[in-house]
Amino acid sequence: MRLNIASRKSDLARLQAFRVGEALKIHFPELEINFQFKSSLGDQNLDDPLWKMPEKGVFTEDFVDDLLAENSDCIVHSWKDLPTEERPETMIIATQVREDMRDLFLFKKSSFGKPQLNVLTSSPRRIYNMSAFLPELLPFPCEKLEFGDIRGNIPTRLKKFMENNDADGLVLAKAALDRLLSAHQEEFHSVQKDIRRVLNECHFMVLPLSLNPAAAAQGALAIEIKKSRESELGPYFKKIHCNETYEDVLWERETLKSFGGGCHQKIGVSQFQREYGTVRFLKGKTDGGEVLDKEEILTSGEMPLPADPSKLWPQTPEDFKSLFTRSRLRIPYPENFQSGVAQVWIAKSTALPDEWPLDKRSLIWAAGLRTWKKLAKRGHWVSGCAESLGEQESEDIQFILGLKPAWIKLSHDGVEAPTTIATYELISNSFEVDLSGVTHIYWPSISVYKSLKHKIKDPEKVVHACGAGATYNFLQSQGIKAYPFLSFGHWLRHIQQREENNS
């Protein structure tokens, strides 16, 4: 069979079409594939921001006539470019495994320390969210943050960014850059060199989904066919379909649609699957002025509510912060941190000694947002964090770096993990804690659990909760059923909201 695959003709769109073709050839080596590339309205009009353009599907509509006339057999789209309303005569036959849905922030090294910054993006969602959080993540004071429009394919935007002396930062979909940098076809080598030159002149941040949920379906590819040809083409595309990605994308798009849909919306929505449950983030502002700010982890069973709120422990963060005294261990600066350059994964901001002379070329990753913000206040550029979801969360920055990072983890003594340096110890003050009568406990760390577990007479009668990372995995290994949450605050808000809904 001969299959005609259509897509836009930008570097990224061609590459995405090639990837679909390669995936099909793995299962059907005899398949003859022909690619058809052309420009869309969105490619031709680079003057107007997307949210100002009245047409729906400005990157996708121009291909539908050929599909219906069977001049092409399928179209490869970026899922996020498709309008939320379905077309009556076509269907999405397959969705490939999603790549990194997060946004990437590039920042010129020459702009480091500037009090007034200009960031290029045409996305109302990015502008709304970044206005609130970006100043806190920067390692220097930001007195004024402005945004400027930018349009074009990835190489065009990077070129405009570097040639604009007034521009300090640029925001892109990380999956787009990852795909281009990982392409093996020779025709993309020139583009890859151009991207590398830009990256060498920039710091980067992988923006957290909890602060900046992605555009609905960002990072996913959709394959569209004529609906009447499902029985003919379905057997081919079902082989490369990822149902998990499809279900996540469907929920994101339906959620966006419920608020009106469209790229003009200041709304980010992300859903992804983990072993412990479904993680969701929703943030932004609707056209009607409603502020959206929701985070949740859906598990197979809902956590029982406490009959008496006074039987919760802890009641405040101070209840567990006072359990330990942190004592600095005098660890010499590691010899393998050559010339002050290191790749460090930091569990807590205090784990990085002030006297260590980390060079600005060092790569720093944080366990969570609080650690990130504290490190930023100390003047360190942090490139991303695990969002308190645990060390198993992939940084997924090997394509940006050009190699897989060799992390050295900084934490406290007692952490049994390779390539970990203990820079402080925890001295327990737990003798004053009374857990008698407590029905619900949130464990903020393994150390707290080990320090207090002997104070619980019947663990099976207590409802246990914790973060979704190492503590959750440890409690599971001890045979303790625990409900995962994003933070202690998330646990408390969850209980309060459910009690309000029940009342």
CATH of the domain at 436: 3.40.50
Is 376 part of a structural domain of the chain?
A: yes
Q: CB count, 10 Å around CB of 498? A: 13
Residue 418 shares a structural domain with residue 328: yes
Q: Within this chain, do residues 137 and 184 fall inside the same structural domain, yes or no?
A: yes
Of the three residues 178, 206, 234, the one that is the final residue of a domain is 206
pLDDT given at position 126: 97
**CA 274, CA 11: separation in Å to the nearest integer?**
32
Model pLDDT, residue 430 = 75
Among residues 381, 400, 428, which one ends one of the domains? Answer: 428
> What's the mean pLDDT in 284-296?
95
* Over residues 389-416, mean pLDDT: 91
**Of the given ranges (82-96, 97-111, 216-230), which has the lowest mean pLDDT?**
82-96
Are residues 495 and 452 part of one domain?
yes
Task: Please give the pLDDT value at position 58.
Answer: 43
Q: What is the CATH classification number for the domain harbouring 28?
A: 3.40.190.10
SS3 of residue 1 by DSSP? coil
* DSSP per-residue letters across 119-139: EE---HHHHHHHHHHHHHHSS
As a whole number, the mean pLDDT across the chain is: 92
Mean pLDDT of the 46-50 span: 53
CB 447 within 8 A of CB 415: no
Whether the pLDDT of residue 42 is over 50: the answer is no
**Could you tell me if 318 and 435 lie in one domain?**
yes
Q: What's the burial of 436, exposed, middle or buried (CB within 10 Å: 0-12/13-18/19+)?
A: exposed
Residue 161 has a pLDDT of: 98
Q: E strands along 288-332, which residues?
A: 291-298, 312-313, 324-328
pLDDT over 70 percentage in the chain: 95
367 lies in a domain?
yes
Same structural domain, 123 and 188: yes
Phi and psi angles of residue 243, each rounded to the nearest 5 degrees, phi first: -70, -35
Instruction: Give the span between the Cα atoms of 59 and 152, in whole angstroms.
Output: 12
Residue 291 resides in a domain: no
Collapsed DSSP state (helix, strand, coil) of residue 35: strand
Find the CATH number of the domain harbouring 133: 3.40.190
pLDDT-based confidence at 53, cuts 50/70/90?
Answer: very low
Total tally of structural domains belonging to the chain: 4
Same domain (yes/no): 406, 368: yes
**292 belongs to a structural domain:** no
Higher pLDDT, 61 or 170: 170
Span 115-143, average pLDDT: 97
Q: How confident is the model at residue 156 (pLDDT cuts 50, 70, 90)?
A: very high
Higher-pLDDT residue of 361, 184: 184
Domain that holds residue 482: 299-323+429-502
Is residue 280 situated within a structural domain?
A: no
Run of H or E residues at 264: none
115 within some domain: yes
Residue 45 pLDDT exceeds 70: no
Average pLDDT for residues 290-296, to the nearest whole number?
95
pLDDT at 417 over 90: no
Q: How far apart are CA 208 and CA 482, in angstroms?
A: 25
Of the three residues 400, 428, 456, the one that is the final residue of a domain is 428
55: pLDDT strictly greater than 70:
no
- Could you tell me which of 279, 283, 259 has the C-alpha nearest to residue 271? 279
36 and 113 share one domain: no
Q: Residue 19: inside a domain, yes or no? A: yes
Q: Give yes or no for residue 199 having a pLDDT over 50.
A: yes
Indicate if 357 and 392 belong to the same structural domain. Answer: yes
CA 436 to chain centre: 40
At 443 the pLDDT is 96
Q: What is the pLDDT of residue 60?
A: 55
